[in-house]
Amino acid sequence: MKCIPEEPDFRDGQLAEKVVWEALKDCLPDDAVLAHSVQVRDGRAEHEIDILVLWPGVGMAAIEVKGGRIAVDNGQWTQSDRSGVHKIQSPVAQSQGSLHAFKNWIGRQLGTPLTSRFAYMVSLPYTDVPRTWEMAGCPRSLVLDREDTASAAELVRTAIEREGGGASSLAPAFMERIVRVLNGTLGRDSQLLDPKEQEDAQDHLTERQSVLLKATRSLPRVRFVGGAGSGKTWLAIEKARLLCKQGKRVGLFSYNKGISQYLQDRVSNWRHAQPQFTGEFHEYARRLGVPDGTGPAYFEEELPQLLKELAVGLQPQQRLDAVVIDEAQDFAPLWWEALLATATDDAEIYAFLDDHQDVYRRWGNPSTDGASPLEDLVTIHIDENLRNTRKIAETFRSFAGDHFTPRGSTGLPVRRVECATEDALDVAGDCIDALIEEGWANNQIAMLTTKDRHPIHKEFFENGTTADYWREFHANDSEFYGHVLGFKGLERSVIVLCVNGFKDLSRAAEQLYVGLSRARSLLVVVGDSDLLEKAGGRELKMALSRAENWNPATPVGL
């Protein structure tokens, strides 16, 4: 059994802690971990866990130990020892407080919320507690008395399983991550850097891209072209913010529903002026008065034509001074024409796009006059990938263009799960279960399919509740199930890319590019190697050959 420290130095006055420690050490299994006097600082408050139990496959327990004879009367706890009888703080409250402080602290250290079962307990090795005793916040099962000390391990296990807060047992791999922090180990391998630290660094690099906006501030019409992970969405939001501060009537647009809601969430917290409109192009047209309709012909042709006609009668105060579009490659030429018809003649235009992610192929049909709405925009190239680790970025390098330059940290190895195409959906679900067992929080994970939707995603789609679907994604409360076409511009710490076929193989490369580039810290690719090579080419095959072959039934240390 691992003990931290290996031989605790029990001082005078800690005899009770020593007795409980030795009892647990004698009866806990070999793979459990015992830690003594775990000091935790949560904000300004300092806490101490007398004995911390980490039990793989079970959970955790924070045990507050009190020697002497303990009594409680009318809510007041007292301790009788050699110095007499004196009042003490509730050991139950102490144990509760230290447990919550530890959860907060370890979550910050690992960048992963602690979701394993965790019980607070009180050990009174020199006090007899009746079996029928109980008080608010402390059932008898959370107390170890004199008689219980001899069989402490099983009682600790029972307390964790019955009373411990948390969603799952303690995964061995996640326990090892906790142990490394408790040990105070320095100089960990770079692959073991926690995802939160890596992603904070990625965010910092992205914010440094603001230099591009400063350098181009005198250019009223700019086309920012960058690959996946280059920070285009951040730049689009920042550009809109700067324009709003200048008092301009700004429209901040995206075609993708998920991105549109993300944009709305971001601008909703601005204290200064907000954009005149933020969201989907089609919703903007409806808001201006274009009547509702359905079907591809309506969205692709009728609506933009009706918007152009309506725009003729807009008053000056209704027109946009600036147009900012994220994922601009998704906007068909006719949509551009209609949108710009609602702006002033000298409106500023800023398009943020990745011309390698034209998954909708809308630029195959030029506008009626043959001119591109973007041709008079100055092109600024953004070549650096900042949002992915290098190991992830290397998997989609062949899709991203010749000037693509990864700048992230090395990161965790990409994982490769081989399976038949028809089994990919089930296997990808097994991967999510295994990742949660490893210690990844469910809200860090998204599964993206390339053909048929996951049943959870399909239910939202068929019920017409896509608004609720995206609200759940942005609430960031649980794992997410989506399709690569709807996840453009979005990201999660962990992506399980479920390659369950393609409806149109000619569009498969763009879809793979999107799916492979959505993960910030860990990418898991599930599917058939032959199909992946057929869709993504030999370069993708070579990149995935360097991935770590993974069986989700086998735990992986992080």
Q: Could you report the per-residue pLDDT of 171-194, keeping only the tens digit for each?
A: 888 898 888 888 764 443 334 445
Asked whether residue 71 carries a pLDDT value surpassing 90, the answer given is yes
% of the chain at pLDDT higher than 90: 53
Give the mean model confidence (pLDDT) for residues 369-379.
71
Q: Between vectors from CA 344 to CA 342 and to CA 348, what angle results, nearest 5°?
A: 105
Mean pLDDT estimate for the chain: 87
pLDDT digits (tens, 9 = 90+) for 434-453: 998 888 888 899 999 999 98
**Chain position carrying tokens 């139990």:** 53
Listed ranges 312-321, 395-404, 432-441; the one with the highest mean pLDDT = 312-321
Q: How confident is the model at residue 329 (pLDDT cuts 50, 70, 90)?
A: confident
Tokens for 224, please give them.
């920012």
Pairing relationship of beta strands 384-385 and 415-418 according to DSSP bridges: unpaired
pLDDT digits (tens, 9 = 90+) for 13-30: 788 999 999 999 999 999
Asked whether residue 558 carries a pLDDT value surpassing 60, the answer given is no
Tokens for 38, please give them.
């775990």
How many alpha carbons fall within 13 Å on the CB side of residue 85? 7
Distance CA 460, CA 104 (A): 34
Asked whether residue 369 carries a pLDDT value surpassing 70, the answer given is no
Helices (runs of H) and strands (runs of E) counted in the chain: 18, 23
251: β partners: 277, 323
Distance CA 64, CA 81 (A): 17
CA dihedral 163, 165, 167, 169 (to 10 degrees): -60
pLDDT value, residue 340 = 93
pLDDT value, residue 517 = 93
pLDDT value, residue 344 = 95
Asked whether residue 255 carries a pLDDT value surpassing 80, the answer given is yes
How many alpha carbons fall within 13 Å on the CB side of residue 159? 26
pLDDT digits (tens, 9 = 90+) for 135-148: 888 899 999 999 99
Asked whether residue 346 carries a pLDDT value surpassing 70, the answer given is yes
pLDDT value, residue 331 = 86
pLDDT digits (tens, 9 = 90+) for 468-523: 888 888 787 788 999 998 888 888 999 999 999 999 998 899 899 999 999 999 99
Distance CA 446, CA 443 (A): 8
pLDDT value, residue 342 = 95
Between 212 and 324, the higher pLDDT residue: 324
